[in-house]
Structure 1
Amino acid sequence: MTGPAAEYLAHGVAGRHTDLPETTAGTVRLDVSGNGSTEHWHLTIDQQTVRVTRSAEEAELVVRADREVFDQLATGRTHIVGALLRNDVTARGRLPLLTVLRRILPGPPGARHPRDVARQEGR
């Protein structure tokens, strides 16, 4: 798989995510379909650290979508919950992990965290 989703999953997800709660732990498998095949990405989340492998191993949460949808998620052009509500994404398993996945995926281009905005304004 090539494109924004593959690039983000291969190079932008693994590592420490300090915005995740320290007690968060779980596994997520992303099933990316396109061109008549499905690619699998397995995320292991533990103590604010995310590990990424290319594996079809079973996970607590399995998220499926077309490559185009994952590309939009990986570039922040769409939100995981919105995509789920539009049926662009399907999910099965431990659904609270979707909120963790939402924090791992990038926000909209040009978006700023409210705390950063407040600091800049001197509040």
Structure 2
Amino acid sequence: MGVTAEQYLRHLDTGRRPDLPETIAGTLRLDVRRDGSTDHWYLTIADQRVQVARSADDADLVVRADRSVFDRMVNGELHPGAALLRNELALQGNMRLLMLLRRIFAGPSGARHPRELGRDAMAARASSRSAADSRGERS
């Protein structure tokens, strides 16, 4: 298993995140249950940035789940929507903010954005065409 949700949130980069929509702003509180206690993580999202604090303050969306559920989401092993459908997490508030977790959490190790994969494929295709043209071959 990769990192825990706690490890990930403690070291979350607060810089600009172009994968977050510019027009979305809100607050999320993650209530992480473990061994009969609950840890509270408070995420403030604005201007494509995420600020993390430890707080039980009210938020636009409160997400409650066991630690193992959050750990799997952080590591890209569980989609938040799937966890909701399986009743592995509970929500209170603005449900539209739930999908931001998918963008905030890192995903599986080695994962790449589809656009990046497409750009690499196009560059490889162009490179192979140039090599074929320089050898006088036709595609």
**What is the TM-score normalised by the length of structure 1?**
0.91
Q: Which is greater in Rg?
A: 2
Residue equivalent to 1:99 = 99
- Output one character per residue of 1:14-49: Cα deviation in whole Å (capped at 9) or x when no partner: 332111111110000000001110010000001101
More strand by share: 1
User: Number of residues paired by the alignment?
Assistant: 121
After the TM superposition, which parts of structure 1 deviate over 3 Å for at least 4 consecutive aligned residues?
none
Residue equivalent to 2:82 = 82
Structure 2 unaligned runs (5+)? 124-139
Answer with 45-54 or 11-20: which moved more: 11-20
Residue equivalent to 1:9 = 9
Residue equivalent to 2:43 = 43
**What is the TM-score normalised by the length of structure 2?**
0.81
> CA RMSD for the aligned pairs?
1.4
More helix by share: 2
Task: Give the share of equivalent positions with the same residue, in percent.
Answer: 55
Residue equivalent to 1:111 = 111
CA distance in 2, matches of 1:81, 1:13: 24
Structure 1 unaligned runs (5+)? none
Give the superposition deviation at 1:76: 1.1
